[in-house]
Amino acid sequence: MTTTKTALITGASSGIGAVYADRLARRGYDLILVARNWQRLETVAQRIHSATGRRIKLVKADLAKPEESAKVEALLAEGAVDVLVNNAGFGGVTPLVDSDIARMTEMIDINVTALTRLTYAAVPAFLKKGNGTLINIASIVAVGPEILNGVYGGTKAYVLALTQSLQHEVGSKGIRVQAVLPGATATDFWDTAGLSHSALPSEIVMRTEDMVDAALAGLDAGEVVTIPPLQDGTAWDNYDAMRQQLSQQFGHHVPGSRYLPRAAA
């Protein structure tokens, strides 16, 4: 007798989250879908249920509000969720000096704080039962912060670093951890950020379905970091190997010679 597994997806009312919901349902998962927009969430759920017959629970929550995030954290802590897709978040395209600090703080609240709280609820439950999958949606700006708004890049660098650290801590304990780094993707993310994806060169914009399918293929292949638009995967392998090698050179009791006082001429 097989036991049906459950996936919880945040930001599931549109875009990447909605496609993850569809794809995981087709893989046999029941779903818990979380978003702020109830009407769009219902539309997604009805479409997926009609196509797959999977059971779907909806949770209306603004994850920037601790009391609403707590509702989702409680579901994760119960241990009935097998896959968490931390997808909720938004970005920005404006330079620092042109950005509203309240909006930037809200971005941190959702992209960093809420993701962290949900992760801290899910991972102990995964460890208790000896299995579970955590998928964190980051961005290519995690390694290229100059590309868009700096606060957005900073939040996604955090997501990447947290994921890599978790892989180090729990990857050998039956827990799957993955960071997905999309490039430009054809979603309403860009409208929220202040620039429609239709204004971007078409050759750099990936279909949402293609991005999610590639991300799941990366998960199946055991990747910790999946970058769907990166054509040569060995480029990332080399970059990450160099990063890890460099990190071994940071322990020393004296500064590098370039920082030592120079003798007077």
Distance of alpha carbon 204 from alpha carbon 202, whole angstroms = 5
The alpha carbon torsion through 194, 104, 118, 82 (nearest 10 deg) reads 20
Is the distance from CB of 167 to CB of 124 less than 8 angstroms? Answer: no
Length of the chain: 265
Distance of alpha carbon 38 from alpha carbon 233, whole angstroms = 38
Query: Per residue, what are the HEC states of 147-174?
Result: CCCHHHHHHHHHHHHHHHHHHHHHCCCC
Tokens of 79: 């241990």
| Known catalytic residue at 158 | no
CA angle 83, 87, 89 (to 5 degrees): 155
Tokens of 101: 């600090």
- Residue where the block lists tokens 């060169």: 201
Distance of alpha carbon 225 from alpha carbon 135, whole angstroms = 10
Q: 29 burial class (0-12, 13-18, 19+ CB within 10 angstroms)?
A: buried
Annotated active-site residue in 20, 29, 120, 152: 152
Using DSSP, state whether 221 is helix, strand or coil.
coil
Tokens of 128: 């208790």
As annotated, the active-site residues are 152
